[in-house]
Structure 1
């Protein structure tokens, strides 16, 4: 009798997970559709039915491609995650809906590097919340018989694991997300620099967004080869140091 109950519960959980996938997947397509129709298709060169022919056109197109790549990489990462740990609670499902809304805004505001940096930082912040509730749903895999920590304690453990790998090895994947979230927050004041809105600045930020999202996905499968390395942390610290000096007028370049 107990075995039958367990089988029934397992089938119920799988059915719920399948429903979540069936509901979320079409919303990715909707987000991309809205982004194209209300974003890229409003570019003047598409209305004129010509190819982009100015540096400004190519710069904006590069930013749109970077936003589009973020969504595609997210879709792939989402499926990899739920294959091993299907969604069993409502909180991750709600966060998925919020993330899809942010993906739409990412495509709508693609011409503005500042807006893109802020939205990406918000997206990665939600990734942290998503990871936390994943550990809550699968607490036996993450915490064994220990109590589930609060969100702030979880965040502190992940931050500690990022800074000093090995302190909370069971949260390495989640620590990788925290590290990349810190990186995207550092990009916000960088995007406030005067040159960020120029064509060259847009190309630079498009390249940064694509590389960062690509390496993040690579890190998730390689135990944080990049973000957990000492050189990358020094690189982030150097950017922060430069921004502090620049915004305090110590540096003027």
Structure 2
């Protein structure tokens, strides 16, 4: 990868993907991005990721699953899934699926608003979760400190990401792994093996401009009107009752 060194710079969680995103990721020196858009099944994510991957930038498919109800949901990021896992199923069901599929399991933005794993969840799934996010540009400094405290006190390897919902946010934070990563399986191995890594992020005005823009976007995204529109019919791609799941999650669906 970059400069012939055994280091791979990965933005471990982005929501957007197009030519501009790829160009920006390359321009800021990333080697890979993890692409996990909302409400999209893993086969489609894999196809889109493959279409944008290049020799300069690997696009690695993943799923951020929304467990629980919309008002009390807990996001979990899974890399290396072979089979689709729907949103809005109990946390324990999602974790069992990730473990069954031998995926790498990440805890993004712990204890952030009502969308994250808390301390008790991290303790309960200590043997399933492979890394905890200790910096996120949506965070305020107190959130960063708390996330780092949780990871360190429980011995979780850290990671960071831009959590970019906007193209200009890509690369504001990345995780530099001390190993070459050329495909999704390599990243899964690095995460599950606890490979040494550095957490790197912007500071100063760029970081705070990103925080302001992403929080403004979050205000739109987290509205009941949006999710009501998305999930009332039960036919959306990641709804538990969608035909793609063959009825496997009908009994545990929260909607």
TM-score (norm 2): 0.28
Structure holding more strand per residue:
2
TM-score (norm 1): 0.28
